[in-house]
Amino acid sequence: MFVTLNEIVQDIIILLSQAAGTGTQRYSQPRIELIVNNLFDQLYARQWWPDLMEFYDLPLDGVNGLVVGDISAVKRWQDLHGVFYDGSDKPLPILPMTNYNPNSVSAGSAMYISPQNAVADKVFRVWSKTAIGNVQFWARLHPGRYTANQTVKFDRTALVLGGAWAYAEDDGSNPGATQKFQNMFDSRMNILENELKDKPFTTRPGMSQIPSQWSSHNA
């Protein structure tokens, strides 16, 4: 279950034996909020967390190799999991930047993807730029900096333990407690990452349906 940033911060405050209550800790609360946001940024990029993933199916503009539609929630090139051209099970590879002239790509055919910075809120470009049709892709979405009342789409326990460890480390008090927070945070992250593997998955992606009747072809 996901909770707001303020609830995570209050949990950390209680763990650190500080007086709890929204607005009570004038000087540690903003710092803990920053710690939690920074921690989220670190952990966000660590796995393809399902709760942060989104699927897109968008047409290409046929001119610049850009998709038509709003993908502003995809913040970084690294957040693209894989881009598929219409109907294909094979993801488009990354355009080589050495020994290959991008203009060599056959016009109208979608062969590669590359990062792009010319147009805001579009993190990739399909080569050749004149390809038309749709592309499908999974992307990891970053919500931006969380504010107090926003729901944080990450495991509460991991953020609380990691935040407590990060704050306690700077306090210089009770080294055992700081180590404890660190150990518990590591343990929690191991659990979360192991859970990702604990789902059935296909070993042969792209395999079509098992045929249930014969058909013939003209030679």
Partner 1 sequence: MRSASGGQITRRKETLKPTTIRDFSGGLNVIDSELNLNSRFSVILRNMFLGSDGSLQVRYGTEIFAQLGNGREIINMSYYRRFLIAVCDDGTIWANDSAGNSVVIWDDSQAQTLPNAPNAWGTLDFVTFAQFKGFLLATNGIDKPVIVDENLRVDYLNDLGTGSNVNTPIGRLITRHQDYVIIAGDPLAPGVLHISARGTSGTYLGDPDPNDAVDFDLSAFVNEGTPDIRAISSFRDKLTVQFSSTTLIVTLGTYDADGNHTPLVEDTIAEHGSLGQRVLQDLGDDFLGADRAGVSAISRALFTGSIQPERLSQLVDPSIQRALGNLSELALQNNTFAIYERLDGIYMLFAPTDSDWDVAWQTKGFAFRYVPKLKLKAWSEFTHWKWRCAARSQDGRIFFARDDKIYRYGSSQEPLYADYMGEVEEFSDGTYFTDNTGWTPVVSFAQSGLGIPFTWELPWADFDQRMLSKMLKYLKLDVIGRGRFTVETFIDNTYEDREFTGQEFLDDTLFDDGFGFVTDDPPLLPELSMEFVGGDALGFGSDFGQYFGSGRTTREELLYAWTTKANLVKMRVSGRSREPLRFVSLSLLYQNGTIRR
Which residues are near partner 1 by CB under 8 A? 16-20, 24-29, 31, 43, 46, 158, 162, 165, 169, 171-175, 178-179, 182, 185-186, 188-190, 193
Task: Choose between 72 and 174: whose C-beta lies nearer to partner 1.
Answer: 174
Identify which of residues 41 and 171 has a Cβ nearer to partner 1 in the complex: 171
Identity (one letter) of the amino acid at 142?
Answer: H
Beta carbons of 136 and 54 less than 8 angstroms apart = no
3-class SS of residue 163:
helix
195: alpha, beta or left? (left if phi > 0; alpha if psi -120 to 50): alpha
CA distance 73 to 41: 15
Distance CA 127, CA 114 (A): 8
C-beta of 18 vs 136, nearer to partner 1: 18
Cβ count within 10 A of residue 13: 22
Nearer to partner 1 among residue 12 and residue 83 (C-beta): 12
Nearer to partner 1, 60 or 189 (CB): 189
- Smallest separation, CB 153 to partner 1 (Å): 17
Burial (Cβ within 10 Å: 0-12, 13-18, ≥19) of residue 121: exposed
CA gap 13, 167 in Å, rounded: 10
Pick 42 or 147: Cβ nearer partner 1: 42
Residues 6+ apart with CB under 8 A from 76: 123, 142
Token readout for 200 is: 């059935």
